[in-house]
Each structure stands twice: as structure tokens, then as C-alpha cells.
Amino acid sequence: MVLRECNCTRIVVVIVSVLVVFFAVILNHLENSEPTTSPRMTADIKTLQENYRQKNKTCFILGASGETGKLLFKEILNSQIFSKITLIGRRLAFENEAYENVFQEVVDFEKLDDYAAAFQGHDVGYCCLGTTKAKSGEQGFIRVDHDYVLNSAKLAKAGGCSHFNLESSKGADKTSSFLYLKVKGQVEADIEELDFDRYTVFRPAVLMVDRQESRPAEWLARKFLSPVSSIFPTALSIPISSLIKAMVINTVMEGDKVEILENKPIYNLGKLAEKTEK
Ligand SMILES: NC(=O)c1ccc[n+]([C@@H]2O[C@H](COP(=O)([O-])OP(=O)(O)OC[C@H]3O[C@@H](n4cnc5c(N)ncnc54)[C@H](OP(=O)(O)O)[C@@H]3O)[C@@H](O)[C@H]2O)c1
């Protein structure tokens, strides 16, 4: 009897050990499967920022009431690389604060052409719009993550925007059989057709962020990912601070006409930005 219990414990230990090793191998593979392109250091970042500042460029942010958008706004504000920032969304991103050279445009995304003026005259655009199937249903998700995003990009292009930045997702692929990844890949491809002078796609994994809105599934996922991310920081997730820092620093760096930044390069750019701040 005692011998049988002993054997059972041993079997459980072996199974658990095999599972741990198995997941560690998978996570290690995910951590190292993306290109580790080192950030393009054409000059000292501070010099690049200063040179960019001198150009007096303006930008808009779509979705600044969301988690990425609001932090991106603060990062851009602190960086002082733009002479004017316009926040475009279905509601005000903030009401009780006032910032110099920051403007807010509330638009109806169902009648976006009526709000073409909001998209006029910005050099750079950042799109952090998005919803979930759970929140908006399948059609609602496609409407926001594809149609609203693409229509905004079209108006931005017509309004003179030369650099469009899209927050997409890890795994985005227009041929995917998963709706989320398919829609993300499709909108990426459709915006590329608009032929911006520069088009940057960010493909972050799960964002590590203390979301204000209650999303139990995301909360649970983050609880699991939190210890994993301390060993494998980019295998499945990315700190939201890395993403927004990468979005800003990438803006002042030279880039290709079309750039697709996967999770790990985003993380590396974010680290570079952090180093520059020290
Ligand atoms: N969260 C992640 O882990 C993750 C990972 C990879 C990629 N992404 C992608 O990154 C983008 C931003 O993610 P996030 O987590 O920062 O998003 P978020 O916090 O949910 O914010 C989304 C933004 O889109 C706006 N929006 C949502 N539904 C809308 C509608 N029907 N009409 C007009 N505006 C609408 C929101 O406005 P309100 O504030 O008014 O709702 C908000 O400004 C999304 O495209 C998402 O798919 C997210």
C-alpha cells in the first residue's frame, strides 16, 4: 500500500516535471522565434528627438481614451516632439485637465466623412482603436477594428498625413482562420494600399497593463502571464510601457516606407528608449 502511494507520487512528480520542461521549451522558443533586429541607431536618440522637434510636426491619436492611447498621449506629451497633438475619438479622452497645444475632436465613426476636417493637417497619426468580440459582437468588432480604422486612415491620408502608425496585434494575418487575427491582418493590408509615405505597424502580444475596465478573462490571463513574463518577457506578452515608448522613439528614427514591428523588436526599442531617459 505504502509502496503504491510512493509510486503514484513519483509518477505525479515525473509528469509535472515533464510538463514544466515542455512549457519552458515552448516559451523559450516563443521568446526567441522573432527577429532580434537591433534598433536602428543612426544617431544619438536625444539628437534625433531634437532634430524632429525642430520640424514642427503635428500628430493625432485615435483612441486616446483607451489603455494604449492614453499612455501614448502622455508619452508623446512628455517627449515634446510635436508642436500640436489632436486626440480623435468617440468621446473626450479627458475633461478636467488642460494642456497647451492639445486639442480634442469628438467624432461619430458611423458618419466619419462628416468629420473629415478633424483629420486635416496632421503629419503623423497613431491608431490605438479597437474593441473585442466579447464587447461588440463579431460584426461590431469588424466594424471598429477594420472599418473605423481604415476609414480613419483614408481621411488622414487625404488630410495630408505622411506617417501612419497602426497598433495591430501579434499574429495578425489576413489568411488566418481566427477572426481576430484575420481582421487585424486585413486592416494592415488595406491601409498599406493607401500608400502613406511611411507606414508603421506594431504587432504587440498581450499588453501587460492594469486595465481600468473590468475584463475578467484578460485579468486572469495577466495573472498567469505575470510570472511567465519575468522570465520570458516577450514570449506571450509585453509591458504596455515598452510599446508606447517604442511608438514614440520609432517616430524620430529613420524607417522604411512600410515597417512591421513584431513583439520583440518593439520590446527592444522600448528598452532603448528607457536607456535614453536615464
Ligand atoms: N489589450 C491587449 O492585450 C492588446 C494586445 C495586442 C493588440 N491590441 C490591440 O491594440 C489596440 C488597442 O488596445 P487597448 O487594449 O489599448 O484598447 P482599449 O483600451 O480597449 O481602447 C480602445 C479604444 O478604441 C475605442 N473604441 C472602442 N470601441 C469603439 C467604438 N465602437 N467606436 C469608437 N471607438 C471605439 C475606445 O473608446 P472608448 O474609450 O470610448 O471605449 C478606446 O479609445 C486594439 O486594436 C487591440 O486589438 C491589444
Tens digit of each residue's pLDDT (9 = 90 or more) over 233-258 = 898 999 999 999 999 999 999 999 99
pLDDT of residue 277: 80
Average pLDDT over residues 6-31: 76
Q: Which of 70, 154, 170, 184 is catalytic?
A: 184
Average per-residue pLDDT for the chain: 91
* pLDDT tens by residue, 137-186: 999 999 999 999 999 999 999 999 999 999 999 999 999 999 999 999 99
Is-catalytic flag, 184?
A: yes
Provide the pLDDT confidence category of residue 3 given band limits of 50, 70 and 90. Answer: low
Q: Which of 115, 133, 174, 180 is catalytic?
A: 180
Tell me the percentage of the chain whose pLDDT exceeds 70: 93
pLDDT of residue 218: 76
pLDDT of residue 143: 98
Domain ranges of the chain: 34-277
> Are the C-beta atoms of 187 and 248 separated by less than 8 Å?
no
Residue type, 230: S
* pLDDT tens by residue, 180-215: 999 999 999 999 999 999 999 999 999 998 877 767
Cβ < 6 A, ligand 1 pocket: 63, 65-69, 89-91, 109, 128-131, 144-145, 148, 167, 169, 204, 206-207
Residue entry with cell 514642427: 56
Which CATH class, in words, describes the domain spanning 34-277?
Answer: alpha beta
Is-catalytic flag, 70?
A: no
Task: Give the span between the Cα atoms of 51 and 54, in whole angstroms.
Answer: 5
Residue type, 117: A
Task: Give the span between the Cα atoms of 98 and 75, in whole angstroms.
Answer: 16
